[in-house]
Amino acid sequence: MIKNDLLIRTLRKEQTERTPVWFMRQAGRYLADYRALREKHSFFERVRNPELAAAISVMPVKQLGVDAAILFSDILVVAQALGVDVEILEGKGPIIAEPIRNQKQIVVLHPEETEEVLAYAIPTTRAVKDSLENEVPLIGFCGSPWTLLCYMVEGKGSRDFSKAKQFCYQHPDLAGQLLDKITESSIRYLQMQITAGVDVLQIFDSWGGLLSPSDYKKLSLPYLGKIVKAVESFVPVILFAKGCWYALEALKETGASAVGLDWTIQPAFARMAAGEMVLQGNLDPVVLLGPANYVENETISMLRAFGKGNHIANLGHGVLPETPFENAKVFVETVKNFRF
């Protein structure tokens, strides 16, 4: 039994004494202890070593008092599962030296080897669960197939992922083959996380909003739907679809328990589109760079705008590395002290 199960009860649409709170990318550079570990161990060392992954995942729970932990890993591990070399460079993010551009490169991708390549995920996830001592739930995750395709074809982060989009427009069949393989590998990876004890799953469709509404229906939604269907009977699923305000109604139909919103979406609009679905979000991460009283006031306005129940407090995207720790704490404390 999990002692603080506010997040899980909210995902089941039960009445709770207050709104649960956590941060996307909460295990990261704004924490001094994380920065210290970064000096000594490479990114994938931190991901694959059970003690390091556990220490990092637990940091925000201990230091900020958030209502959930998220597994320390990265969405790009699914590209590695498929056989693609990925590096994470300091300050640059993910780099793929040989981006996927043709059929030969897609044919050799091997989703059936996911369990073998990502075998470390079982002991690392179990180590995180053990370190949490059932204080709060553990969130497992993967990227959406579309968001993974963005990095695998572009080769790196981008403002518009134009090479990835161009590839999909020029070679729709190949894009479909690649998305199918990413989908299969993602389902296998999430099933491993479920086996190892995660309580909730979040799928990050961070770049869904770069697509037009009709392309979203072709390139992202069907694959998200497949993943949700494969796992939702085991644990509740949160879909974070950044920039996808136009797809809220369709996202509801996937069977996910909650949808994560970015800061450009008005809660009242999301309620209209997504109905009684649980909503997560959506303070602008940059607000946390402002003065503490501004953070507090904006957090209260956000809570009021979502109203009582069916809401998980979070930012509208990941917490920025330059966020002052004290302001992250103000956000958490404001949510925890607020009552309707």
In the complex, the residues that contact ligand 1CP under the rule CB under 6 A are: 24-29, 38, 43, 70, 72-75, 88, 93-94, 141, 143, 157, 204, 206, 317-318
How many distinct helices (H) and strands (E) make up the chain?
A: 17, 9
Catalytic residue check, 34: no
Catalytic residue check, 25: yes
Closest residue to ligand 1CP: CB criterion: 157
Answer yes or no: are the C-beta atoms of 142 and 75 closer than 8 Å.
yes
Catalytic residue check, 101: no
**Among residues 25, 48, 188, 271, which one is catalytic?**
25
CB of 59 to ligand 1CP, least distance (A): 9
Q: Which amino acid is at 317?
A: H
Residue labelled with tokens 């993974």: 148
Give the C-alpha separation, 239 to 283, whole Å.
Answer: 17
Give the C-alpha separation, 178 to 273, whole Å.
Answer: 31
Q: Nearer to ligand 1CP by C-beta: 223 or 271?
A: 223
Catalytic residue check, 304: no
Q: Nearer to ligand 1CP by C-beta: 200 or 271?
A: 200
Give the C-alpha separation, 258 to 246, whole Å.
Answer: 16
Give the C-alpha separation, 79 to 59, whole Å.
Answer: 27
Q: Nearer to ligand 1CP by C-beta: 154 or 271?
A: 154
For residues 250, 253, 254 and 257, what is the CA-based torsion angle, rounded to 10 degrees?
110
Answer yes or no: are the C-beta atoms of 145 and 88 closer than 8 Å.
no
Catalytic residue check, 216: no
**Among residues 5, 67, 74, 199, which one is catalytic?**
74
Q: Nearer to ligand 1CP by C-beta: 27 or 211?
A: 27
Could you give the residue numbers annotated as active site? 25, 29, 38, 74, 151
